[in-house]
Each structure stands twice: as C-alpha cells, then as structure tokens.
Amino acid sequence: MNGLGGLNKSAHGVVIGLVQLQLPRIETRADIAAQTDRIVALVAKARANLATMDLVVFPEYALHGLSMDTRPEILCTLDGPEVAAFKRACAENRIWGCFSIMEANPGGNPYNSGLIIDDTGALKLYYRKMHPWVPVEPWEPGNLGIPVIDGPRGAKLGLIICHDGMFPEMARECAYRGAEIMIRTAGYTAPIRESWRFTNQANAFCNLMVTANVCLCGSDGTFDSMGEGMICNFDGTVLAHGTTGRVDEIITAEVRPDLVREARLSWGVENNIYQLGHRGYTAVAGGAQDCPYTYMTDLAAGRYRVPWEDQVQVTDGTGCGFPAPSRRYTGAPPAREAAE
C-alpha cells in the first residue's frame, strides 16, 4: 500500500515526494542563482501538487549539475543565499525539504553535502557524502558521520548520497542509529540503473527500513541522468517507481514508520539488523555478540587491506584529469551542532 501515492493519508503515514529534477548545466554564479530559483519553484509545485506531502526530496547535484567543477565562485556555504532560499521555501510552503549543495571547504576540496530543512525553515540535518564516487568525483570525504534526526510526524530520518548506497555498511549504520526512513539522493546516469534498483531494495530489506531514492533526470547535452525515483518498503518491495524518465515528475508514496517499528520489534525470521549482533540466539542465550568479521576489526584498527591490494590499478583520480593528492585524511572535525 502506498495510499495511492499519498492521496489517501493514514493517521500514521508520512508522504514523500521525490523530484526527478531536470539535470542542469551550470557554469556561472548567475546559473547557480537561476537554478536556486527553479528549485524553490519546485518546492511550491510539490506543495500544490499534493496537499498531504510531508517531505520533498531533490537529487544530488540538483543545484550544481554534473560538471565536477570546484571553482570557488560556484560553491555554496551553509550561511549563503542558496540555503537561505531553501529555508524560506520550506517555511512558506509548510513542507520539509531535502537539498544538495557543493560546499566550500577552506581546508581542501569541496564537500558534497546534503541538507534536510523542516517546515519552519530550520536546518535539521547536515551531512557530507562519506564515499565520493571515485575516481570521477573530486569531493573531500565526509567527516560528520551519518546523522539521524526526528523528521516529519516523528519519523526517524537518515540521509546518504548516491555512491554511499553501494556500501551496505552505510544503510546499516543509518538503521543502527535508528533511522526508519533512509533518503538516498543521486546524480547517477543510465549505466548504473540496475545496480541502483537492487541496492535500494536490499538496503531496505536488510535493515527493515524504508528507503526513498531519487536521481537527476534528463540530459544537459553531455550527460543523461535517469530519474528512477524509488520508494521501497521495509520488506524490500517497491511502493513507487519512476520508470518513465519524465523530467520534473514528482514520484510520491505514503510510508508507515509505525510498521517499521512493529517489524523491528516483532519479526523473528529475517530481523537482520538485530540478529547481526545476536548470532545464533536459539542455541546460546542472547546470541554470540562478538565481532567475527576481519574487515570490521581491520578497518577500526586502521589496517584495512584487501588480499589483492597491491594489484589494484586505479587508486587516485589522475585517469579522470585530477592531480594526484598529497594530503592525508586527518579524520573528523570537533563535534558540532547541525541543527540551528
């Protein structure tokens, strides 16, 4: 059930709209300003389109396009005019919104950042993409972890970006921190279509978590993005799917966080997010609560190394035209308050 795309909203439902935004071509600051206005207009369209909608989600690169341009003059900041416009749009239309910016970073390459703003215009979630799509993307690896917040109607929300969703650990971390709905925004193009579909479903099923996923759509004259707005229920079934590739279409569905909670409490078979840390509880009280996975212990100890490490051929972005980096990752910054 998806409530006819959210037209029939239940007492416990959260209605999500995924904007298959036309892929923009951005070259100047004026282009950024014009695209900001376009996104703001689509927030208003989402509200007018469906009065029951709680959250409207825009894809990764919605503001900047797919150029991978790192020039300072087209980058954004949290206190800049673009984010201020998004806040006003959410407040004026009384709707939660999820947005994408390429964020200036004085200490290195820009961050690929995602924001969730509530229906009063307050910034509630601030996330930096953990896994840039190397070697193609030049963004600094995210250093804020994966925040989970109380979203519309009390639903627990997490946000990851594009390539993040190809790592099962990312969805697992969202669920482990309590997310009932995980948003995944992307700029993916057609070669990733099948991988996009099955990872969205697997991320949902393996974690008893709704996933709401959307890509850019259409062509900028060079790249062709695929839309593919997808809302998957916690059992992995697809509630809504934008398969036509129609630009600016808003894919909608009602999801039920209360049923996510119920499943996580009452499921025995396939309650995998719980059972990971309670192996074989039928045989031993509480299950085995060790960590038998060498990739986890090695990663935590800073010695992650695949058996074929020395034979890996692509280990920097030089093949995509970026200079080989000389800086080392220094880790997460001091804790900061994401909400205003």
Residues taking part in catalysis = 60, 129, 162
Burial 266-305 (b: 16+ CB within 10 A, else e): ebeeeeebeebeeeeeeeeeebeeeeeeeeeeeeeeeeee
Quick one: DSSP state of residue 183?
Answer: E
* Residue type at position 7: L
Beta strands per DSSP E along 175-216: 181-186, 210-215
Neighbours of 219 (CB within 10 A): 14
How far is residue 90's CA from residue 7's CA, in Å, rounded to a whole number? 21
Q: Which of 248, 252, 249 is nearest to 231 (CA)?
A: 252
Torsion of CA 331, 107, 58, 175, to 10 degrees: 10
* Type and span of the H or E element at 55: strand 55-57
